[in-house]
């Protein structure tokens, strides 16, 4: 038994949850991360984590409704069974995190406090100040450290995943290890494993400035993609409505700011240059409240983003004509704000120089999350209604209980497994959960759920008697994989130009241009024309990348090399994202095509599946039916009122 | 610290600088560089144009894409560590104008408001350098392991909720739990001494970061089960007794964690722990 | 776990706590008593006046009278004086040597982190170094009779406590000399820094032992320590000022009268008489005197 090993790539919430679950089962884990795991991107999650709870339950909420909300939020592109299982696990996951010591905010009586979040009218979001992701990550990191100290987990911090090692072809292809590089010594070597769990997060950097950390390049996912793993719903990229634009990145302003009462508005009069606090209430246009009276500021992110975009870009009503709107919390008590949102308000103050407790924040949408990711499969659980259920109303009897095993068959080998045997995808890099838009505070849940629930599947898979151990795999498979990566590495090193080279071939310039075109053409509003332009640009950049020139030829801690290598992988992923977007000729969730503004269930109630074609170096896209059957399709409106242009609401100009 | 010291400035002055910052100016980055462990130090200066909202990260990125010094000499891109760029991951900590802080939240407008103003970047001095501004902070994670900074739960299967906790206690723990292992407190601590090799870590002062984390877990209903073991470590070599009460830690902590209160609280626990141990023999 | 830990390493915590403790008990307690006694040179007259015994005396003479009386009492009537002294010296030696060793282990960074607490951290160490030198000089010259370190070789005696102290500080029994200014300055710095060292040490000890945990408590205790420091500082300066303004001959006269009124065993008196003679001779033999 002890010869079995599992590799987990990525030390965020999903990777750590997997590592802990697998190590707990007695299987040694090798955990790879480009940063000390405590610095993983999960720290950036702010708002909270969703779960049904007793208070909400007594008001008619249920795990089932959480499931239903997640599906309508995702515009029915989610795989339905894992979402059901996830929603059912959610309250138990909160309990577990509580036991681990996460300092969830407390009511005055000492119960876990709750807040509102987008996509729900119930308080079902648990939180720890405004740095919930950080707190959850730390709790898992602490548990993982315990296993490290007991020798059950080996951490490889500052190691970059280069490629999965596989053997066999077609359906028999299975993962038997990885090639990785020490980012300090630049040593490249192979690691054997009976299963490999990818928990490598999203790909925000493909879009240049995003809310993501600098490590969220999508490089690792792209490498698996190139090794034959399929990539699902690549085009589904979430643009967060509220971020603080910056020179190096766009910093997230949590949805919890809206959950705690934040109001989004612009001056009702175009070109009003008064300071926000000088503009009276009746001369403000509260964008979301007027357009969505039922949900108001709590509409899902894609909708909020599009409306803000519409007001700024189409109507030109942004603050001072710029692409900015106000997110206003000044009507709330400053002490209340400090307790509930202190962390993010301080961040705003640090970067923008104004205290959001007293001055409305200026925000604009920014790329935030990738619903798409490595395509995965699963074995459904025992809940199988004779026909899909209609919309669930609060308080109605629930069609299925909250016990485990209704959504997924717990421990089935293939849960969250990619099309490559033994190669799993957990967390953001798993495409299954969030469909066409992720609801706020569901990301932390899906990451931890994947690790805990599907970690068991990994253990079962490697202990299967029919499964030959990797110790029997020939060493040459590993040596060849290392050689392939070493050659790639050496070839890049050989291009070192000492910057005498052409600026066109500078990797930073290529990455910058990629980010610019992707951000402009493949985010909030897409068109066939724009996406084609995007693909053409990617072609041009890929050509230039062939002649890329490195600025640093060092054999020690060469960040330039690592970045340049990743730019190549980002180009490949970007192509899949843009192409899938071009081929999906409808609008659904975050994917909004002005040339196809309606949802087209007939043709596109399907997941896009990108497969890498080694001959063309590009992706081939197929559309496969969404794994549904539990809930019936219905329109996604969030009670939008008839489109009203702001002008009609504009009051008489003030006599000023 | 051979750097020509650019002035170390306080919050008020930074605010004032922001108000007078000249648009479209260029500033000088003077950077202490080193190609790897055991290699010699050198200084290199770069001229970097600013844009609205420029920070040290965006400036270092500019240098990475255009690694040419003010003297026109071609050089290699500067290596540095970074992550979230929102001051929650702790990665991009470095010494800026002689004082440790995160580089992501270091706005150029606040530090160099006029054309040609200089900003000095150095790696943290208390940790072994990897290359340029990137240092190896493994010792901090090792310290967390030594003080058993975790709650000893009975596994990850569902066993119901954790211990109930009142509102004020949660607020206290949350404040401690915001520690992002950035190392500012250790860099500024005159008692925390750089040790290159792992076998020297245990006998040298562990520092406020781990002491405060030990307090965090001593304060948890289940976490306090390991309190005695934590206190054994913290009253052992390099423990709480090495604190010199310079209280720099609490002033440089970017998260405002009450580190000195943690030190005093652990001091109290240490007093009780050692007296108890003396009389019970455990 | 490294098994090759020295005794010092294994018992670091205990030794550090003893270090902290000795600073307060006995050293701090002695310091307070010492400064209270010595400052009577400045306030003795007022005390005498309160009892109606200051008639015909100037403030300075009253101080000398009170002080000389106190010193004689302490040196003749306190039981086991030698044991007390040895304990005190041992405590000071322990506190000094360890303190020196620990202070050398720190890396001050005041220029980069100019905070009030960091300033005190730095000054605590500097005052420790300086204090060690000062205490050594102070004890060696005034207690152990290493009079070759004193300008003009004045030797202190508890029978002629005020006058010989004044001579040691002023540089001679005939009034001020240049070396006397240096010695007095050294004393001024020494006592001031040691008082700071004690007051600040009292503040940090409360954190070390965990008495003041919250920031507020530390602040409040800080005010208490500052008050103690200011009080002791005034006492120490008073004592110095008193000693520096004492007129040697006047003091001798007063001290002689006190000896006369005291019932002192004959042989002890003899010893001191010889001593005194020596002191006077030295003073007279000095051509510059």
Name which of A143, A252, A554 is nearest B86 (Cβ-Cβ).
A252
User: Which of A3-7, A617-621, B26-30 comes out lowest in average pLDDT?
Assistant: A3-7
Three-state SS letters, A503-547: HHHCHHHHHHHHHHHHHHHCCCCECHHHHHHHHHHHHHHHHHHHC
Shared domain for A249 and A325, answered yes or no, is yes
Q: At what angle do helices C59-77 and C40-50 cross, to 10 degrees?
A: 100
Three-state SS letters, C124-144: HHHHHHHHHHHHHHHHHHHCC
Residues of B at the C interface (Cβ-Cβ below 8 Å)?
1, 5, 8, 98-99, 188, 190-191, 193, 199, 202-203, 235-248, 251-252, 258, 260-261, 263-272, 274
- Residues of chain B contacting residue A95, judged by C-beta atoms under 8 Å apart: 158-162
- Pick the catalytic residue from A251, A263, A301, A438: A301
Are B83 and A214 a contacting pair at CB < 8 A?
yes
Average the pLDDT over A554-577 and give the result. Answer: 97
In angstroms, the CA C199 to CA C65 distance is 30
H or E element, residue C224:
helix C215-245
Shared domain for A529 and A644, answered yes or no, is no
pLDDT of residue C158: 87
Name which of B74, B173, B181 is nearest A498 (Cβ-Cβ).
B74
Q: What is the CATH number of the domain that holds A522?
A: 1.20.58.100
Residue C33 CB neighbour total at 10 angstroms: 12
Are C215 and B191 a contacting pair at CB < 8 A?
no
**Number of domains present in the structure of chain A:** 2
Residue A386 CB neighbour total at 10 angstroms: 5
- Partner A contacted by B52 (CB < 8 A): yes
Is the previous residue joined to C26 through a cis bond, with omega within 30 degrees of 0? yes
In angstroms, the CA A621 to CA B24 distance is 45
Name which of B36, B64, B152 is nearest A556 (Cβ-Cβ).
B36
Q: What is the CATH number of the domain that holds A360?
A: 3.90.700.10
CA A476 to each of CA A72, A480, B32, B127: distance values in angstroms, whole numbers, following the listed order: 49, 6, 44, 40
Asked if residues A338 and A181 have their Cβ atoms less than 8 Å apart, the reply is no
Instruction: Give residues 454 to 493 of A whose Cβ lies within 8 Å of B.
Output: none
Shared domain for A573 and A644, answered yes or no, is no
Are B268 and C213 a contacting pair at CB < 8 A?
yes
pLDDT tens sequence across B231-277: 999 999 999 999 999 999 999 999 999 999 999 999 999 999 999 99
Shared domain for A256 and A340, answered yes or no, is yes
Asked if residues A308 and A637 have their Cβ atoms less than 8 Å apart, the reply is no
Length of chain C: 289
In angstroms, the CA B101 to CA A112 distance is 34
Instruction: Give residues 8 to 67 of C whose Cβ lies within 8 Å of B.
Output: 9-10, 12-14, 16-17
Identify the burial level of A18 via C-beta atoms within 10 angstroms of its C-beta, where 0-12 means exposed, 13-18 middle and 19 or more buried: buried
CA A63 to each of CA A53, A55, A92, A223, A394: distance values in angstroms, whole numbers, following the listed order: 9, 13, 11, 36, 11
Length of chain B: 282
Task: For residue A398, name the pLDDT band (cuts at 50, 70, 90).
Answer: very high
pLDDT tens sequence across C162-191: 999 999 999 998 989 999 999 999 999 999
Domains and CATH numbers, chain B: 11-131 (3.10.20.30), 137-154+162-280 (1.10.1060.10)
B170, B175, B225, B227, best to mutate vs chain A, most A CBs in 10 Å:
B170
Q: Residue A653: pLDDT above 50?
A: no
In angstroms, the CA A588 to CA C263 distance is 109
Decide if A175 is inside a domain.
no
Check contact A-C (3+ Cβ pairs < 8 Å).
no
Q: Which CATH number fits domain C19-104+115-283: 1.25.40, 1.20.58, 1.10.1760, 1.20.1300?
A: 1.20.1300
DSSP state of A155: E
Share of chain A above pLDDT 90, in %: 88
Kindly list the domain boundaries of chain C, sorted by start residue.
19-104+115-283
pLDDT of residue A85: 98
Task: For residue A498, name the pLDDT band (cuts at 50, 70, 90).
Answer: low
pLDDT of residue B46: 98
Task: For residue B53, name the pLDDT band (cuts at 50, 70, 90).
Answer: confident
Average the pLDDT over A260-284 and give the result. Answer: 94
Q: Residue C270: pLDDT above 70?
A: no
Residue A198's Cβ-side half-sphere holds a number of Cα atoms within 13 Å equal to 38
Average the pLDDT over C190-202 and give the result. Answer: 98
Secondary structure (3-state) at B143: helix
Mean pLDDT (chain A, rounded): 94
As given in the structure block, the two tokens for residue B133 are: 């501004």
ipTM value: 0.96
* Pairwise pLDDT comparison (B14 vs A122), residue with the higher score: A122
Average the pLDDT over A68-75 and give the result. Answer: 97
pLDDT of residue A647: 41
Check contact B-A (3+ Cβ pairs < 8 Å).
yes
Tokens 């009577």 found at? C40
Kindly give, in sequence order, each residue whose CB lies less than 8 Å from that of residue A632, ignoring residues fewer than 6 positions away.
Answer: A387, A388, A389, A390, A391
- Residues of chain B contacting residue A557, judged by C-beta atoms under 8 Å apart: 36, 79, 130-131, 134
pLDDT of residue A163: 98
- Residues of chain B contacting residue A246, judged by C-beta atoms under 8 Å apart: 53, 55, 58, 85
- Partner B contacted by A540 (CB < 8 A): no
Asked if residues A172 and A421 have their Cβ atoms less than 8 Å apart, the reply is yes
Are A557 and B134 a contacting pair at CB < 8 A?
yes
Instruction: Give residues 119 to 148 of C whose Cβ lies within 8 Å of B.
Output: 120-122, 124
User: Using DSSP, how many helices (H) and how many strands (E) does chain C show?
Assistant: 12, 0
User: Which of A35-44, C3-12, C198-207 comes out lowest in average pLDDT?
Assistant: C3-12
As given in the structure block, the two tokens for residue A166 are: 């596989």
Are C213 and B261 a contacting pair at CB < 8 A?
yes
Whether A593 is a known active-site residue: answer: no
pLDDT of residue B282: 63
pLDDT tens sequence across B175-206: 999 999 999 999 999 999 999 999 999 999 99
Residue C108's Cβ-side half-sphere holds a number of Cα atoms within 13 Å equal to 17
pLDDT of residue C284: 37
Chains in contact with B via at least 3 Cβ–Cβ pairs below 8 Å: A, C
Identify the burial level of A616 via C-beta atoms within 10 angstroms of its C-beta, where 0-12 means exposed, 13-18 middle and 19 or more buried: exposed
Decide if A233 is inside a domain.
no
Name which of A157, A347, A499 is nearest B68 (Cβ-Cβ).
A499
Q: Residue C276: pLDDT above 50?
A: no
Q: Which of A638, A174, A159 is nearest to A437 (CA)?
A: A638
pLDDT tens sequence across A195-236: 999 999 999 999 999 999 999 999 999 999 999 999 999 999
Share of chain A above pLDDT 70, in %: 96
pLDDT of residue C7: 83
H or E element, residue B13:
helix B11-20
Q: Residue C279: pLDDT above 60?
A: no
Alpha-helical regions (H) of A366-414: none
Q: Residue B72: pLDDT above 90?
A: yes
Decide if A634 is inside a domain.
no
- Residues of chain A contacting residue B161, judged by C-beta atoms under 8 Å apart: 95, 98-99
- Residues of chain A contacting residue B52, judged by C-beta atoms under 8 Å apart: 247
Domain that holds residue A537: 476-602
pLDDT of residue A472: 85
pLDDT tens sequence across A285-298: 999 999 999 999 99
- Residues of chain A contacting residue B155, judged by C-beta atoms under 8 Å apart: 24
Shared domain for A287 and A357, answered yes or no, is yes
Tokens 């050509």 found at? A543
Instruction: Give residues 181 to 200 of A whose Cβ lies within 8 Å of B.
Output: 184
Residue A329's Cβ-side half-sphere holds a number of Cα atoms within 13 Å equal to 29
pLDDT of residue A181: 98
pLDDT tens sequence across C41-81: 999 999 999 888 888 889 999 999 999 999 988 988 889 99
In angstroms, the CA B151 to CA B163 distance is 12
In angstroms, the CA A637 to CA A615 distance is 43
Name which of A41, A110, A452 is nearest B164 (Cβ-Cβ).
A110
Gap from A508 CA to chain B (nearest CA, Å):
6
Average the pLDDT over B135-162 and give the result. Answer: 97
In angstroms, the CA B258 to CA B209 distance is 11
- Partner B contacted by A421 (CB < 8 A): no
Q: Which of B77, B203, B186, B59 is nearest to B135 (CA)?
A: B186
Are B241 and C212 a contacting pair at CB < 8 A?
no
- Residues of chain B contacting residue C124, judged by C-beta atoms under 8 Å apart: 244
Secondary structure (3-state) at C200: helix
- Residues of chain B contacting residue C16, judged by C-beta atoms under 8 Å apart: 241-242
B185, B246, B258, B278, best to mutate vs chain C, most C CBs in 10 Å:
B246
DSSP state of A433: S
pLDDT of residue A499: 54
Decide if A279 is inside a domain.
yes
Alpha-helical regions (H) of A428-469: 443-463
Secondary structure (3-state) at A553: coil
**A310-325 per-residue burial string, b: 16 or more CB within 10 A, e: under 16:** bbbeeeebbbeeebbb
CA A319 to each of CA A244, A645, A654, C40: distance values in angstroms, whole numbers, following the listed order: 14, 17, 18, 75
Shared domain for A597 and A643, answered yes or no, is no
Gap from A140 CA to chain B (nearest CA, Å):
9
Decide if A643 is inside a domain.
yes
Are B246 and C118 a contacting pair at CB < 8 A?
yes
Decide if A551 is inside a domain.
yes
Task: For residue C287, name the pLDDT band (cuts at 50, 70, 90).
Answer: very low
pLDDT of residue A562: 96
pLDDT of residue A13: 98
As given in the structure block, the two tokens for residue B198 are: 């792992």
Decide if A91 is inside a domain.
no
**What DSSP letter does each residue of A274-331 carry, written as one string?**
S-GGGS-GGGEEEHHHHH-TTTGGGS-HHHHHHHHHIIIIIS--SGGGSS-EEEE-TT
User: Using DSSP, how many helices (H) and how many strands (E) does chain B show?
Assistant: 11, 7
Tokens 């984390």 found at? B213
- Partner B contacted by A25 (CB < 8 A): no
- Partner B contacted by A336 (CB < 8 A): no
Are B77 and A339 a contacting pair at CB < 8 A?
no
Name which of B52, B145, B162 is nearest A99 (Cβ-Cβ).
B162
User: Which of A630-644, B11-25, C84-98 comes out lowest in average pLDDT?
Assistant: A630-644
Are A100 and B151 a contacting pair at CB < 8 A?
yes
C3, C98, C208, best to mutate vs chain B, most B CBs in 10 Å:
C208
pLDDT of residue C261: 65
pLDDT tens sequence across C27-43: 999 999 999 999 999 99
């Amino acid at each position: 038994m002890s010869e079995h090993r599992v590799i987990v790539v990525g030390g965020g919430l999903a990777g750590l949850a997997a590592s802990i679950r697998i190590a707990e089962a007695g299987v040694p884990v090798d955990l790879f991360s480009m940063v000390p795991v405590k610095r993983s991107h999960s720290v950036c999650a702010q708002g909270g984590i969703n779960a049904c709870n007793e208070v909400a339950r007594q008001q008619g909420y249920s795990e089932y409704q959480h499931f239903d909300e997640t599906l309508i939020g995702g515009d029915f592109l989610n795989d339905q069974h894992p979402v059901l299982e996830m929603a059912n696990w959610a309250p138990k996951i909160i309990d577990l995190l509580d036991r681990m010591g996460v300092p969830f905010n407390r009511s005055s009586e000492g119960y876990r406090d709750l807040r509102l979040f987008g996509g729900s009218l119930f308080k079902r979001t648990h939180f720890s100040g405004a740095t919930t992701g950080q707190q959850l990550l730390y709790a898992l990191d602490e548990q993982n450290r315990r296993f490290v100290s007991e020798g059950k987990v080996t951490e490889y911090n500052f190691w970059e995943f280069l490629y999965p090692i596989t053997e066999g072809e077609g359906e028999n292809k299975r993962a038997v290890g990885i090639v990785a590089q020490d980012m300090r010594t630049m040593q490249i070597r192979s690691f054997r494993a009976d299963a490999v769990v990818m928990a490598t997060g999203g790909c925000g950097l493909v879009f240049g400035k995003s809310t993501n950390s600098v490590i969220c390049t999508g490089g690792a996912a792209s490498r698996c993609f190139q090794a034959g793993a399929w990539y699902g719903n690549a085009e589904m990229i979430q643009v967060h409505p509220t971020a603080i634009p910056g020179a190096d990145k766009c910093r997230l302003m949590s949805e919890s700011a809206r959950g705690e009462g934040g109001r989004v508005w612009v001056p009702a009069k175009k070109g009003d240059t008064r300071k926000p606090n000088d503009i009276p209430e009746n001369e403000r246009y509260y964008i979301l409240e007027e357009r969505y009276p039922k949900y108001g500021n709590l509409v899902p992110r894609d909708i909020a983003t599009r409306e803000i975009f519409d007001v700024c870009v189409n109507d030109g009503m942004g603050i001072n004509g710029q692409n900015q709107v106000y997110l206003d919390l000044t009507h709330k008590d400053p002490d209340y704000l400090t307790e509930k949102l202190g962390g993010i308000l301080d961040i705003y103050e640090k970067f923008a120089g104004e205290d959001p407790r007293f001055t409305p924040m200026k925000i604009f949408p920014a790329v935030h999350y990738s619903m798409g990711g490595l395509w995965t499969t699963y074995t459904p659980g025992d809940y199988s209604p004779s026909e899909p259920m209609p919309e669930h109303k609060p308080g109605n009897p629930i069609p299925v209980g909250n016990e485990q095993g209704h959504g997924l068959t717990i421990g089935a080998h293939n849960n969250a497994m990619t099309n490559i045997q033994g190669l799993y995808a957990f967390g953001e890099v798993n495409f299954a959960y969030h469909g066409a838009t992720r609801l706020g505070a569901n990301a932390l849940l899906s990451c931890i759920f994947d690790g805990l629930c599907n970690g068991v599947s990994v253990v079962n898979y490697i202990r299967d008697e029919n499964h030959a151990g990797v110790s029997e795999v020939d060493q040459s498979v590993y040596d060849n994989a290392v050689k392939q990566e070493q050659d790639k590495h050496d070839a890049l090193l050989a291009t070192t130009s000492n910057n005498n080279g052409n600026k066109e071939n500078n990797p930073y310039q290529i990455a910058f241009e990629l980010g610019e075109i992707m951000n402009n053409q493949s985010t909030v509003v897409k068109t066939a024309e724009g996406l084609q332009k995007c693909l053409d640009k990617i072609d041009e950049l890929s050509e230039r990348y062939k002649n890329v020139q490195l600025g640093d030829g060092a054999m020690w801690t060469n960040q330039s090399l690592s970045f340049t290598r990743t730019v190549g992988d980002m180009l490949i992923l970007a192509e899949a994202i843009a192409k899938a977007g071009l081929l999906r000729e409808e609008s659904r969730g975050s994917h909004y095509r002005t040339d196809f503004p309606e949802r087209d269930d007939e043709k596109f109630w399907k997941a896009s599946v990108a497969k890498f074609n080694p001959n063309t170096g590009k992706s081939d896209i197929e559309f496969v039916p969404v794994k549904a059957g539990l809930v019936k399709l219905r329109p996604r409106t969030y009670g939008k009122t008839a489109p009203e242009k702001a002008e009609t609401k504009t009051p008489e100009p003030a006599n000023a | 610290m051979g750097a020509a010291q650019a002035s170390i400035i306080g919050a008020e002055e930074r605010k004032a600088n922001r108000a007078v910052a000249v648009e479209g100016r260029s500033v000088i980055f003077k950077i202490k560089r080193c190609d790897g462990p055991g290699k010699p130090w050198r200084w290199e200066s770069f001229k970097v144009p600013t844009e609205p909202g420029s920070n040290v990260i965006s400036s270092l990125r500019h240098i990475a894409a255009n690694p040419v010094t003010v003297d026109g000499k071609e050089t290699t891109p500067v290596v540095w560590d970074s992550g979230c760029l929102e001051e929650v991951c702790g990665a991009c900590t470095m010494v800026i104008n002689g004082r440790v802080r995160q580089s992501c939240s270091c706005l150029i407008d606040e530090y160099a408001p006029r054309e040609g103003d200089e900003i000095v970047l150095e790696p943290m001095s208390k940790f072994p350098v990897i290359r340029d501004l990137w240092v190896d902070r493994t010792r901090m994670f090792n310290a967390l392991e030594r003080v058993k900074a975790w709650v000893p739960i009975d596994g990850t299967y569902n066993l119901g909720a954790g211990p109930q906790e009142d509102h004020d206690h949660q607020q206290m723990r949350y404040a401690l739990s915001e520690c992002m292992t950035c190392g500012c407190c250790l860099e500024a601590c005159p008692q925390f001494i750089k040790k290159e090799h792992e076998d020297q870590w245990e006998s040298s002062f562990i520092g406020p970061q781990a002491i405060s984390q030990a307090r965090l877990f001593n304060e948890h209903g289940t976490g306090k089960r390991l309190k005695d073991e934590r206190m054994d470590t913290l009253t052992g070599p390099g423990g709480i007794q090495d604190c010199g009460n310079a209280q720099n830690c609490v002033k440089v902590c970017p998260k405002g964690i009450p580190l000195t209160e943690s030190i005093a609280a652990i001091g109290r626990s240490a007093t009780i722990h050692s007296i108890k141990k003396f009389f019970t023999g455990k | 776990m490294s098994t090759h830990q020295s005794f010092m390493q294994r018992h670091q915590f205990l030794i550090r706590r003893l270090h902290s403790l000795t600073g307060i008990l006995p050293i701090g307690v002695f310091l307070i008593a010492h400064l209270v006694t010595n400052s009577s040179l400045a306030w003795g007259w007022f005390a005498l006046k309160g009892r109606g015994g200051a008639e015909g005396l100037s403030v300075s003479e009253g101080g000398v009278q009170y002080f000389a009386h106190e010193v004689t009492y302490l040196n003749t009537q306190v039981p086991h004086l030698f044991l007390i002294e040895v304990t005190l010296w041992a405590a000071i030696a322990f506190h000094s040597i360890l303190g020196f060793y620990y202070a050398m282990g720190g890396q001050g960074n005041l220029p980069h982190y100019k905070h009030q607490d960091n300033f005190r951290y730095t000054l605590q160490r500097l005052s420790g170094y300086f204090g060690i030198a000062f205490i050594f000089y102070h004890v060696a010259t005034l207690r152990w009779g290493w009079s070759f370190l004193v300008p003009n070789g004045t030797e202190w005696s508890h029978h002629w406590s005020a006058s010989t102290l004044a001579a040691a500080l002023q540089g001679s029994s005939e009034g001020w000399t240049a070396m006397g200014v240096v010695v007095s300055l050294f004393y001024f710095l020494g006592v001031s820094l040691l008082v700071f060292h004690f007051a600040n040490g009292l503040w940090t000890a409360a954190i070390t032992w965990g008495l003041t945990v919250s920031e507020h408590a530390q602040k409040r205790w800080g005010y208490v320590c500052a008050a103690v420091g200011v009080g002791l500082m005034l006492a120490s300066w008073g004592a110095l000022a008193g000693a520096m303004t004492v007129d040697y001959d006047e003091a001798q006269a007063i001290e002689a009268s006190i000896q006369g009124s005291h019932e002192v065993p004959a042989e002890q008196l003899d010893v001191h008489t010889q001593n005194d003679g020596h002191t006077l001779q030295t003073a007279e033999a000095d051509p510059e005197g």
